[in-house]
Structure 1
């Protein structure tokens, strides 16, 4: 029985996408001639890039949420009379909301499509920012942060999966890294705008990415692999055609996707017993491991509370230093986006985690020595500068590999049959550890800055070993080839 016959037999059970773009791309793919104004969309790179730039608004929202707490800490604490513990709770609640969003993300994306999932994620983000902007006490702050986190939890899973499923194999690494690049842009915007506007106005500005994302979703095609899995063969082929260009022969790619799905279409329900099979447990373990180690590096503790870290290091203009770090992070992530399809995933992960280990060790030593010298001495000032340099190098190293690549690899290696459930589990682990790091960072820094960075150093050293032993190279392979390699 062919793939087409199988899906037609079960057509009554098929689920329809939440957002349907209509027939514009189906019509375009069948026309023998195009107008000059539509000529650009014939180029597959331009077509895919347009889709990536639209969904990248989601990660920008993600980054804005992460960066919001740093420039606003002093103002919110003073205006609403919050304690350090209360603000720490506020900062970490986005991770709690993201955990809930992560649990739902895979099933939502599987049931109503990738675009519908992003539409649903945008709504609580908008409500959450409004709640924070008009807050008069901590309860509205907490509610808004939870709602933001829920939306971000869905975005963090759906965007990398959508990009991986639409990108051609030779561009998948670079385009997949745009996800993390957008996160860093969102963080930088929060830092930068926080210098000039109040925390309430900054919350209102946080709505803008989602307000642009919602209409943008109506102008891009749904993931062809999701459409194929749902049995919508005509939409699947039309979506793939517009993504690859109307003049491109997509026969080989269509047949590869169909063959891959045909091997798993006999029984669509996934059971926990299936995870005993190597083809399922190994990619899930690698995906969870990378996303957990990404957080155990302490990156969110550094980003969320960078102002406090710079103040502890003796930097007077900590806000300006934070903006500088955000800018450096964007540049470094852009470099990683350019490198990932040239050097490969594994080498960037190893270089990144090794660089983080050395940088964090420098910061830890600097903070330990600062406690042993006089605050008025020249050495004290030098050690403060050294600790800032170490933090900056740590963020650069993170951005070169451990920032963008774990999400990219997770979206590449998970088989389509278990992607919804396994993706939710991996994303949940990521946000659970993100919450733990965010919640404990200010307390650990108050206990011992040197001790905190020593702990982060140990985890980065472990990451080097994990990548060297377990993580496969996915550069230049189709998603179907990657999945077959685990069998």
Structure 2
């Protein structure tokens, strides 16, 4: 115990000496390649939003069959999430991303060439496994290679590229066949397959494997020639040694009292993200516009144009405002948007004021999508990548990611049936969840802006 305490004290001293690193070309290139698969992730998330009617017509699917198809990505994502952290720990982040690309490319090809519901569902499931692996590895990989003063913005680029993919799916879904749209999903995976050959492995993963000489070489490349990486390399080394002393990899050890705060934050934010309603809006946006009496093609085109600029705003603000203010602002905006949609569908059958339904539907969906892209979409993943110590990062990361995908699967599958039950009631529930997110963040989520991954552990008592 004394050795552990002395190492933690030494870690604090090392972190105080850290010098702000410059942003190198290799760091920017590596981040771009890492998040390129997030583009395919985004296309998969927005794929069903405007292809629903054409797929159902071409393959003669029922609503239940299409709902199953739509939800299979999240079910596959849950399967991928089960193995994501373990695979990344054993094989490294690069190899895990290559594996994810294999699943995604196979899945998109299966969808593009599908002649029956079997191949359609199999392709969607494979894409889900791929993005399940991506969803854990990408934010963690970026967080582990970037210096603390830009970590939030660079990790936010994961959500930015997802939103670029969603925008492509929304926009081209109006003009391309569903088969052609599936082919577009392959392109970013191909870029990543090639680009990863030129991207270094995470220094923290290398340290965990005892490859300390490579740690310094990689850090020097990432931080630039002339930058003193001795302190950062030493901090990583100490952190790994502390983690090895604390290491106990059983599931049972994860539920110790000292990890309760981190697990509550990680799982809680993921559940709130999936239950806020974006899963349904993202997957069935076109159907929602039609339900509200607003032209679906116009609505989806406008959505495709605004989602990326709003993400850029979040990327700029995450390391200026901090995680907490951005998350609560996003949740507040989502709450108001949900109320707007609840009102829109609630007055639909009242003759005197039913003419406001199309306008309120458009405003509600537009503002909901913007506010989700602004913070709630990215921040749970950013915070997840920061808060867990290395000795439980694999198990905790897997558990949190599984919670996200399992909840997303249930929410995605049930959304159409909830709309049949009550469109207004569906978004009242969404508003309650978003309001709960504000309270949850205010009382439980600490600010991690400007702290190294090692310093963040001191917020939780050095667990």
2:445 paired with 1:466: no
1:112: which partner in 2? 91
Query: Residues of 2 paired with 1:264 and 1:129: CA distance?
Result: 39
Deviates more, 1:387-396 or 1:450-459: 387-396
SS of residue in 2 equivalent to 1:265: helix
Query: Which of 60, 67, 76 is residue 55 of structure 2 equivalent to?
Result: 76
Query: Which of 148, 158, 165 is residue 137 of structure 2 equivalent to?
Result: 158
Query: Residues of 2 paired with 1:431 and 1:273: CA distance?
Result: 22
TM-score by length of 1: 0.88
Query: Residues of 2 paired with 1:230 and 1:382: CA distance?
Result: 61
RMSD (CA atoms)? 1.6
Query: Which of 211, 216, 223 is residue 195 of structure 2 equivalent to?
Result: 216
1:362: which partner in 2? 340
Query: Residues of 2 paired with 1:51 and 1:186: CA distance?
Result: 19
Query: Residues of 2 paired with 1:267 and 1:460: CA distance?
Result: 36
In the TM superposition, what whole-angstrom CA distance separates every residue of 1:330-379 from its partner, at most 9, and x where no partner exists?
111110000000000001111111111111111101211112226xxxx3
Query: Residues of 1 paired with 2:433 and 2:57: CA distance?
Result: 35
2:347 paired with 1:373: no
SS of residue in 1 equivalent to 2:335: helix
Query: Which of 175, 178, 185 is residue 154 of structure 2 equivalent to?
Result: 175
* Alignment size in residue pairs: 443
Aligned residue runs from structure 1 range 266-281, under 5 A? 266=245, 268-281=247-260
1:28: which partner in 2? none
Query: Residues of 1 paired with 2:345 and 2:246: CA distance?
Result: 57
Query: Residues of 1 paired with 2:255 and 2:128: CA distance?
Result: 32
1:24: which partner in 2? none
Query: Residues of 2 paired with 1:391 and 1:207: CA distance?
Result: 28
Aligned residue runs from structure 1 range 28-67, under 5 A? 44-67=23-46
1:331: which partner in 2? 309
Query: Residues of 2 paired with 1:250 and 1:396: CA distance?
Result: 39
TM-score by length of 2: 0.93
2:293 and 2:357 in contact (8 A); partners too: no
Aligned residue runs from structure 1 range 23-422, under 5 A? 44-266=23-245, 268-316=247-295, 318-373=296-351, 379-422=353-396
Query: Which of 418, 421, 429 is residue 444 of structure 1 equivalent to?
Result: 418
1:279 and 1:483 in contact (8 A); partners too: no
Q: Offset at 1:383?
A: 2.6
Classify 1:88/1:238 alpha carbon distance in 2 versus 1 (closer, same or farther; 3 Å).
same
Q: Offset at 1:273?
A: 4.0
Q: Offset at 1:267?
A: 5.8
Q: Offset at 1:171?
A: 0.1
2:254 and 2:395 in contact (8 A); partners too: no
SS of residue in 2 equivalent to 1:152: helix
1:59 and 1:186 in contact (8 A); partners too: yes
2:12: which partner in 1? none
SS of residue in 1 equivalent to 2:363: helix
Query: Residues of 1 paired with 2:457 and 2:139: CA distance?
Result: 17
Deviates more, 1:65-74 or 1:144-153: 65-74
Q: Offset at 1:463?
A: 0.7
1:314 and 1:381 in contact (8 A); partners too: no
1:67 and 1:187 in contact (8 A); partners too: yes
Q: Offset at 1:266?
A: 3.3
Query: Residues of 2 paired with 1:106 and 1:323: CA distance?
Result: 36
SS of residue in 2 equivalent to 1:249: coil
